[in-house]
């Protein structure tokens, strides 16, 4: 045990190739994944520390604000993760309608690959704490706004008017969010596939 953590401490500041991610990163990643699946109240600090192969002391060392601070970090991590998926999909196609179609396919593939367990990385945590933990709500609202911003910019770049781009970005994010939820509950990619087609058509109307 001591020898193991000695090695970890050896690479504490910057992860080396063979050492894996550092403790703080492991904790945030684990918290994000667990809360995405089980929600805020359904995920215990001890479960996080165990699955992250860290100890309770480490968790409270890096997150003195306790579970709430950890949850906010987890939401931000999920935000970042989805931004990458979103950007990749938007960049994969010149036409925004085709890009949104690619995005819905990407989300559907990820959902099915996780056996319908890993939905939106922030929805579950955010919904379960609505009106109770303002920090989490703010982090979630910021994430949604950021995602909408990326879609908005893509639409603007292809010549869609500001007003239309604003509204379309809202609907693209809302619809994909709802369709992912519906796909997860019904254990079928159909809602996401249909949503992708309808969104593409809606976007095509504005060019």
Least spacing, CB of residue 206 vs DNA, in Å = 46
Q: Does 133 bind its own copies (CB under 8 A)?
A: no
The DSSP 8-state label assigned to residue 21 in this structure reads S
Six-digit token string for 85: 């998926």
Q: Compose the 98-117 pattern: x for residues touching its own copies by CB under 8 A, - for all others.
A: -----------------xxx
Least spacing, CB of residue 143 vs its own copies, in Å = 9
Which residue matches tokens 């192969």?
53
Which residue matches tokens 């955010």?
126
Q: Does 141 bind its own copies (CB under 8 A)?
A: yes
Detail the DSSP E strand segments found in 8-146: none
CB 133 within 8 A of CB 141: no
* Choice between 11 and 194, CB closer to its own copies: 194
Among 17-25, 26-34, 39-47, 54-62, the segment contacting its own copies (CB under 8 A): 39-47
Helix segments in 92-161, DSSP class H: 96-113, 123-128, 134-157
CB 32 within 8 A of CB 121: yes
- Alpha carbon distances (Å) from 9 to 57, 61, 116: 15, 15, 37
* Choice between 46 and 187, CB closer to DNA: 46
CB 187 within 8 A of CB 81: no
Please choose which of DNA, its own copies, none residue 112 contacts, taking the beta carbon within 5 to 8 angstroms, the exact cut-off set by kind.
Answer: none
Q: Which residues bind DNA (CB under 7 A)?
A: 1-10, 12-13, 22-24, 43-47, 54-58, 60-62, 64, 66-68
Q: Which residues bind its own copies (CB under 8 A)?
A: 37-42, 115-117, 119, 123-124, 126-132, 137, 140-141, 144-145, 167-168, 170-171, 173-179, 181-182, 184-187, 190-191, 194-195, 197-198, 201-202, 205
């Amino acid at each position: 045990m001591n020898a193991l953590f000695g090695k970890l401490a050896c690479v504490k500041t910057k992860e080396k190739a063979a050492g894996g991610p550092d403790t703080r990163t492991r904790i945030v990643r684990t918290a994000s994944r667990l809360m995405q699946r089980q929600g805020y109240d359904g995920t215990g600090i001890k479960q996080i520390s165990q699955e992250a192969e860290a100890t309770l002391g480490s968790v409270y060392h890096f997150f003195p604000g306790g579970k709430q601070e950890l949850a906010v970090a987890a939401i931000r991590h999920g935000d970042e993760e989805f931004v990458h998926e979103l950007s990749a999909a938007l960049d994969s196609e010149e036409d925004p309608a085709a890009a949104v179609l690619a995005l819905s396919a990407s989300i559907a593939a990820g959902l099915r690959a996780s056996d319908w367990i890993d939905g939106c990385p922030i929805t579950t945590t955010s919904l379960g704490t609505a009106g109770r933990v303002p920090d989490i709500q703010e982090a979630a609202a910021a994430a949604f706004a950021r995602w909408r911003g990326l879609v908005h910019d893509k639409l603007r770049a292809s010549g869609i008017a500001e007003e239309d781009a604003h509204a379309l970005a809202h609907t693209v994010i809302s619809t994909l969010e709802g369709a992912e939820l519906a796909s997860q509950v019904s254990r079928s990619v159909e809602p996401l596939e249909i949503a992708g087609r309808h969104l593409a058509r809606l976007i095509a109307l504005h060019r």
